[in-house]
Structure 1
Amino acid sequence: MGVITELSGHTLLVTIDRPEARNAIDQDTWDALGDAWRRAETDPDVRAVVVTGTGDRAFSAGADLRAIAEGGYRTEPDPVRDPWGFAGVTSHDISVPVVAAVNGLALGGGWEIVLACDLVVAAEHAEFALPEVQRGLVAGGGGAFRIAEQLPRPLAMQLLLTGERISATRARDLGLVNQVVAAERLLPEALALAERIARNAPLAVQATKRIARSITRGTAVADTEHWMRSGTEVTRVMRSEDAREGARAFVENREPVWRAR
């Protein structure tokens, strides 16, 4: 299914397991991640979550562009999973704190998964980018507005409009990452951070997170206006020739030819 889950004490470890595709998100992985978030919210034994990727190359390269090019995503609506957002995570608000353990590249939707988490521990070699504009796409999984909320506008706009990568150290200096650690210490440090959270009173921790992130219990989505605006723009762009060209160019390993239509 592309995802491995393991309960360690009161921490649910969620691992994106598609190393052959740089842990890119196909439909099965999307659904399995959403199901893991649902388990975290409904299982009283889960008091914290750590999400990471298999291997040391990539946390996640984001959406599987080959699946996009080949029509590999669900075409019929799923009334339960669709509101959970990209990867079943980006608009799936849960009260349990989530720590991202970034073990390599976090690109596009991969970084959007990280931005949906509460705390971030990154390996020294990790890199971050929202390169959607380089492929004729839009950072529609919350990346565009979450980066703009967390950074001064000029910095946010540079990252969004160029799609350029930044290092783990740069991300930490910008306040986007809590800790940068050696690769071999990544998972132990992330799990230790989750355990420090899990030792506290779970109801108090969850209520504190809901207050801090403006989550109303029982609703699927916070930031409603942001999501509505984002959804409108993403739908318009995804219908364009350029969006199809970006995916084709990636699969064919060539530079895209944009037509602005």
Structure 2
Amino acid sequence: MSVRVETDEESGVAVVTLDRPSKHNALTVEMAGRLGAVWREFRYADEVRAIVVTGAGGRAFCTGVDRTAAAGIPQPSSPYTIDDPLVAIGPKANDLWKPVIAAVEGMACGGAFYLLGEAEFLIAGEGAVFFDPHTSYGMVSAFETVHMAQRMPYGEVARMALMGSAERISARRAYETGLVSEVTEPGGALDAARRAAAVIASHPTEAVQGTVRALWSAKEAARAQALAHAPHLVALGNLPAGRQAELFTRRADGFRLR
């Protein structure tokens, strides 16, 4: 499944790792399903009181959906709905209110924002970069921008989404704009996230989960309303799959982290 889960019962911290480093931890349909199942399972795991989500290999946290794997997903003919394999990969989409910290190294882009958008806060290594290539490939960035608009100033989200693969936000800039709460030395994000999670897990879990739920209630209505528009914006605005693939191939060099 390429999703690895490790639990330290002594600290109460679980680490969820996207474990497909040769593909920059791009998500397959199977991985998306597994992530949803993991979050739901954590609802019943009383020994888990805080969670860290990260990517294996150091070169990427996640680069969104695997385009090859997603190409075969049939889509409804209606412009008001889409079948999006990533729509339920986050903890909140699966009714999990235990705190989740994201530890980011390397690239985090596109569909990775579904996960980052549902974490309580982000910790990034110095070499982390954030970007959204959708518009470069003739795709509407809808779900991603809604998630990021809850975390970043409007202008920063707009620039990242509209500039596409040409715009890279460094870990330092992400910290300055509030997307990231802490920047570590390269490779240090996971350890820092574990330490923060262990502190949180040491507190009474009812108080912690209630606080998480209260924080999310402050923005939940606006977020839900915005996400409701996303499917038909994507369906109406995306180029045909063949044209997307052509643009992706033409601009692939700009997507790679050098």
TM-score category of the 2 structures, normalised to the smaller one: 0.7 to 0.9
For 1:176-198, what per-residue CA distance to the aligned partner results, in whole angstroms no more than 9, with x for missing partners?
10111113322211101100100
Q: Which amino acid aligns with 1:88?
A: I
Question: In 2, distance between residues paired with 1:41 and 1:139?
Answer: 30
Tell me the residue number matched to 1:259.
none
Tell me the residue number matched to 1:150.
151
Match of 2:26 among 16, 24, 27: 24
Secondary structure in 2 matching 1:52: strand
User: For residues 1-261 of structure 1, what are the structure 2 equivalents within 5 Å?
Assistant: 1-9=1-9, 10-69=12-71, 71=72, 73=73, 85-86=86-87, 88-89=89-90, 91-141=93-143, 143-163=144-164, 164-214=167-217, 223-238=223-238, 240-241=239-240, 243-250=241-248, 253-255=249-251
Question: In 1, distance between residues paired with 2:85 and 2:198?
Answer: 26
Which is worse superposed, 162-171 or 222-231? 222-231
Contact 2:39/2:94 (<8 A) preserved = yes
In structure 1, list runs of 5 or more residues that go unmatched.
Answer: 77-81, 257-261
- Cα displacement (A) at 1:231: 1.8
For 1:151-181, what per-residue CA distance to the aligned partner results, in whole angstroms no more than 9, with x for missing partners?
3322221112112210001000111101111
Secondary structure in 2 matching 1:246: helix
Q: Which amino acid aligns with 1:145?
A: V
Question: In 2, distance between residues paired with 1:248 and 1:151?
Answer: 31
Tell me the residue number matched to 1:79.
none
Question: In 2, distance between residues paired with 1:47 and 1:189?
Answer: 17
- Count of residue correspondences: 241
For 1:7-34, what per-residue CA distance to the aligned partner results, in whole angstroms no more than 9, with x for missing partners?
1131111000111111001111111111
TM-score, length-scaled by structure 2: 0.84
Secondary structure in 2 matching 1:42: coil
Identical-residue share of aligned pairs (%): 34
- Cα displacement (A) at 1:116: 1.7
Question: In 2, distance between residues paired with 1:111 and 1:145?
Answer: 9
Q: 1:181 to 1:255 in 2, by over 3 A?
A: closer
CA RMSD of aligned residues (A): 2.7
Secondary structure in 2 matching 1:20: helix
